[in-house]
Chains A and B, each alone.
Chain A
Amino acid sequence: MKIYTATLIHETNSFSPIPTDLDSYREVFLYRPSTGEGAGLADSLAADINISTMAAKRGHQAHQGLIAGAQPSMPMNREAWACLKQEILADISANLPFDGVVLFLHGAQMADRTDDCEGELLAEIRQLLGENTVVGVSFDLHGNVSDGMLSNADFLVSCQEYPHTDFESRTEHLLDLIELGHANKIHPTTCCQRIPMFGSYPTTRQPMRSFVDRLAALEQESEVLTISLVHGFAWSDAADAGACIIVTCDNAPERAEQLAQELALEFFTIRDKIVSPPLTADEALDEALGVSGGPVVIADTTDNAGGGAPGDSTYLLERIFARGIKNVGVAMIYDPLAVTIASAAGVGYELELRIGGKLSHLSGKPLDVHAKILTVRNDAIQLRESSRRPLGNAVLIEANGVEIVLCSVREQTFTTECFTEMGVNPLNKRLLIVKSHQHFYEDFSKIAKKVIYATPPGVVVRDFSTIPYQHITRPVWPIDKPPFTVFNQYWK
C-alpha cells in the first residue's frame, strides 16, 4: 500500500499559563516537509510514534509527512496551527493518490478559536482523499473525541495504558486494521458512547487494571475489531472534553452499539474507585513520613508539565522546608533563570538563590535559599521508552538538607535518571518528589517503598469545580452529582 503518515501531538490545557507557537514544537520535535526543517528527525524518533518506519517494515510504500510535537500548554496561536495543518494538507495533495493515511495525533489539541483541531484536520484530509482511502488515527487516551474525528476516520485507536506504555502495539494493531480495510476484508462499523466523567485514571491499580484487561479480551471476539477506552482530558475547555468508549465491529453496528453502551455504563459505576483522593502537601508529607524506610515517592500531580503546568511550583517544597524534613530529593523544578545563575557560579559554589515560583500565580511563592551547587550538566537526559528526553542545562543544588534538580527544558519526571544523571542516588533518599502525574510510575514504582499522589494547588488542578469552564458539556461527574441524563443515557 502507498501510505501517508504524519505525527502531530499537542495536549492542550486551556488554563495553562504557557503559550504555544511553532517554537514550542521546535523545543520538542518538528520536521516540516515543506522547508526540510528537522530533516532526519524521523530516524531519531521513538519507535512508538514512528509510524512511517512501522509501515515500511510491513512492506508498504510509506510517505513521511509532518512530525511535530510540543509540551502540553495553551491552545496554539492561529498562524502556527494553520502552518502545521497546511504542512499535512499540501503534502497529501501534492502526492495523491494514497491507499491509506495513518496519523499519530493527540486527540485533545486546540488552537485559538479552534476547539477541535483533530476533527478539523481529518475533515479536510477526507475532502482531499475522497471516500475510498482508508484513514486511521492512533492517539492518546487523554484525547477528547469529537464527531469530526469519528466521521472522517475509518479507525480511531487510542492507547489503553496510563502510563502510556502501549503506543507501539496499538499502532501496529491500527496498521493491521488499515491493511484489512484496504483489502476490503473487513467493513468497520463504529459506535462511540460518550461518558460524562472528568478525571485521571492510572491503569496500574485495581479496579482499572481489570477493566482494561477485559477490553483487551473483548477485542478477541470475532465480530469485534477494536475497542478504545478514552479517558479524555478535562483541562481542555471544549464541548467534547470527557471520556468515551469507541467500539468498532466488523459489519455489526448493533453489536458495536450494545458493547459501547454496556461498557460505558459499567465504567461509570467504578468512577469513585479509579481516581485518587485529593491530598494536600501536608497530608501527603504526613503519609510519607508514616512509612518506615524509603524511598517514598510523592507525585506533585498538579504541577505536571505533561498536563500543561509550568513545572515550577513550590507548594510541596515550601512545606518540606518549613517542616525541616531532610534527606529529600526533588526532580525537577523548571527554572532556566536559576539554572543560568547557578551554573555560572559553578560546582562547589554557595550562593543565595531564588528558586521556583516564576511563571504563574499557581506556581506558589519563589523560595529564597542558601544553595550549594553540587552538579552542573548540559547533556543530561532521561530515556522514556527509547526516546531521549534532554533536561537541557541542569543543576543539582542542596538547600536545607534537600537536593533539588533545576532544569531548563520544561518536562515532567519520567525516570529515575532525573536523579541519577545529576548525581543523586534515589535509593538513599527518604523521600523523592517528582513532578509528574503518572508517567513516572513505570520506573519509580520499581524502587518506591510507597507512591503517594499529592494534589497541592497548581495549574493541573484536580478539583474541577474550581476551573472557570465556559465550553464543556454539563452535567459531568464529579462537578455534577449523579444521577443525571446526558448523551442519551441515564447515569447513576
Chain B
Amino acid sequence: MKVYSAYFAHESNSFSPLPTTLDSYSQNCLYRPATGEGRDILDQEFTDDLAFIPILQSRNHEVCIGPLAATTPSAPTRKEDYELIRDELILSLKEAMPVDAVIIFMHGAQLAVGYSDCAGDILHRIRAVVGTKVPIGVELDLHCNITAMMLDSADVIIPCKEYPHTDFAEEGRNLVGIIEGAVKGDLHPKMTFSPVPILGYFHTTREPMSVLVAETRRLEQEEDGLLSVSICHGFGLADVAHTGAGILVVSNGEQQKAQEIAQSLGDQLFAIREQIKAPLCSIEYALDVVQKNGNGTVVIADTTDNTGGGAAGDSTFVLKAMIERNITNVALSLLWDPMAVDIAMKAGVGSQLAMRIGGKVGPHSGDPLDVMATILAVRSDAFQIMFSSKTPLGNAVALDIGGITVIVNSIREQVFDPRCFTELGVDPWKLKAVVVKSAQHFYAAFAPFAQQILYVDGPGSVTADFGKLPYKQLVRPIWPIDETPFTVGGREWS
C-alpha cells in the first residue's frame, strides 16, 4: 500500500517563558519537503516515535514522507510558523495523492497562537484531502489532551503507554498492523473515548499505575474486537478547555464493549489518583536524605525545571540549597546556560574563574549564582541517548564549584541518560547524589544504578502544583485543583 507519513510534534506549555517559532524547530528537528531544508534527517536513523516509518518500509509499503517537525516543549508556536508547517504538510499530502492510508505522529498537546487544538486542526484538514475512505492513523504522546475534532477526523489514535515513553516503537507497530487491516477491509476500527477529570504526572514504573497499564495490554490481547486500549494522561500545563486524562479504546465491531471498558478503566484510573500522582518531596527533604545516605547514589529529579515540560532548564533552587548546606561529592546536569558555556570554553580546561551561572531566563529560574568555578571538561561533540536515538548536548562543560560538579550546556534539553555526566568525565555512581533536570524520562537509564530516586517539587515553571497556575481556559472542576466529589459531564466523580 502507499502511505503518507508526517511528523509534527510539540508539547505546548501555556506557562512556559520560552517562545516557539520556526527556528525552534530548525534547531531540533525540521525537514521541509517544500524547501529541502533538513533533508539529511531522512538519512539518519529515525527516533522511536517515527519507528512506524521503517516498520512500514520493512513490510514493503511505499511511504511518502511529508514534513518532519519537532521541538523541545515551550510556549505555543507562533501562529504564522505553525500555519507554515501545517500548510506544507497538507500541500505535500495533496502532491502524494492518491494514497491508501495516512500514518502520522503528533504530540496531542500541541498549541499555537490562535489554535487550541493543533492535532485536531491538522487531522481535520487531512480528512478533507483524503476523503472518508482512506484510513488515518495517529500515534501520540500519552501526555495528550484528546478532542472531539481528533476523534472525528482520525480512524485510529494510539498514544504510547509508558512514562518514560519507552514503547513508541511497539505502539507504532501496532498502529501499522491496524491500518493494514483497515486498508484491506479486514478491520473497521472505531474509537471510543471516556474522559477522566484529573491532572497529573503518572509514572508507569510503579504500582498501581504499572498494574493498570498491564491491564490495558491484557485487554488488547485477550478481548475479542479490542484493537488498542490506552490511558491518555493529559497535559496539565496546556491551558485549554479539553485538558485532562481519559481512556481511549479502538475497537472492531465491539463498540458497546469498548464503551464499557473505557468507562470501567476510567473509573479505576480515577480511583487510584492519589496513589499514582508523582511522589514529590521538597528540596530540603531530598537533601536531608542525601546527607544521611550511607552508600550508593541518590538520584534527585528536579521535576519543576524539566525542559521536557517547557521549563528553561536553568533554575538554581536545588543548586543553591546544596551550596548553602555545603553538600559535596554530588553533581548536577544539565544546567542550560549558553553564555556561561561560552565563558568556560574560552577559559579552557584547568582554569579557575569567577562565574555567574544559571538563573538567566526568568523568575522561575531563581537567582543566578556567583561561584568560583574550575573548568574540569569541555566538549562540543557530546551526546546522550533519547528514546534510543543520539541527541547532542551542544557545547558542554563540567564545572567544579567547591565539590559540586555542574554540567552546563548550550542546548536546552532534559536529562535522558547518564551520558549527561559520563561524557564530561563524571562517574555519577561514585557520587553521593546526582541531580537531573527531568521529570521522569531519566528513569529508564538511571533506575538500575540508583540507590533511590527522589522527585523534587521546588519552585519552577513545570510545577505539579496545578492549583498555583493562572488557568483561563481549563474546564473545572478537575482534580487535584478541586476537591472530590464533584460532577463533570453528567457524572459524579468521587
Contacts and interface: CB of A to CB of B under 8 A. Distances in A.
Interface of A: 17-21, 23-24, 74, 77, 79, 336-337, 341, 344-346, 349, 351-354, 357-361, 363, 365-366, 368
A77 B348 contact: yes
Given A19-B347, A346-B78, A366 B359 contact: yes
B279 interface: no
B133 interface: no
Contact of B343 (A77, A349, A357, A359): A359
Interface centre among A19, A21, A79 (most CB of B within 10 A): A19
A354 B346 contact: no
Contacts of B367: 365
A390 to B, nearest CB: 17
B463 interface: no
Nearest to B361: A354
Contacts of A344: 18-21, 23-24
Given A337-B338, A366-B360, A17 B343 contact: yes
B257 interface: no
A149 to B, nearest CB: 27
Contacts of B360: 337, 354, 358, 366
Contacts of B368: 357-358, 366
Given A77-B347, A366-B359, A19 B19 contact: no
Interface size grouping (class) on chain B? 20 to 34
B241 interface: no
B40 interface: no
B148 interface: no
Given A19-B347, A77-B347, A341-B361, A358 B19 contact: no
B272 interface: no
A359 B356 contact: yes
B368 to A, nearest CB: 6
A354 B365 contact: yes
B354 interface: yes
Contacts of A363: 356
Contact of B362 (A21, A74, A345, A368): A368
Interface in B355-414: 355-356, 359-363, 365, 367-368, 370
Contact of A337 (B19, B21, B24, B339): B339
B54 interface: no
B259 to A, nearest CB: 44
Interface string B325-366: 000000000000011000101111001011110011111010
Given A18-B346, A74-B353, A77-B348, 8 more contacts: A19-B348, A24-B346, A337-B361, A346-B21, A354-B365, A360-B356, A361-B370, A366-B360
Contacts of A346: 19, 21, 78
A357 B359 CA distance: 10
B247 to A, nearest CB: 37
A45 B348 CA distance: 29
Contacts of A345: 19, 21, 78
Contacts of B347: 19, 21, 74, 77
Contact of B338 (A336, A351, A368): A336
5 contacts: A336-B338, A352-B363, A354-B365, A358-B356, A368-B363
A410 to B, nearest CB: 10
B184 to A, nearest CB: 46
B77 to A, nearest CB: 11
A79 B20 CA distance: 40
A328 to B, nearest CB: 23
A21 B345 CA distance: 9
Contact of A21 (B19, B23, B24, B348): B348
A469 B355 CA distance: 20
Contacts of A337: 338-339, 360-361
Contacts of A17: 343, 353-356
Contacts of A353: 362
A274 to B, nearest CB: 32
Contact of B339 (A24, A336, A354): A336
A346 B351 CA distance: 38
B208 interface: no
A193 to B, nearest CB: 36
Contacts of B363: 352, 354, 368
A354 B339 CA distance: 14
A23 B21 contact: no
A354 B367 CA distance: 11
A365 to B, nearest CB: 8
A482 B23 CA distance: 60
Contacts of A336: 338-339
B24 to A, nearest CB: 6
A365 B353 CA distance: 20
Nearest to A365: B367
B477 interface: no
Contacts of B38: none
A160 to B, nearest CB: 33
A361 B23 contact: no
A366 B300 CA distance: 28
Nearest to B359: A366
B338 A19 contact: no
A337 B341 CA distance: 12
A336 B356 CA distance: 15
Interface in B62-94: 78
Contacts of A366: 359-360, 368
Nearest to A78: B348
Contacts of B353: 17, 19, 74
B17 interface: yes
B354 A361 contact: yes
A77 B351 contact: yes
A359 B337 CA distance: 11
A78 B23 CA distance: 38
A18 B343 contact: yes
A361 B362 contact: no
Nearest to A20: B346
Nearest to A22: B346
B356 to A, nearest CB: 6
Nearest to B346: A19
Nearest to B365: A354
B459 to A, nearest CB: 14
A354 B21 CA distance: 19
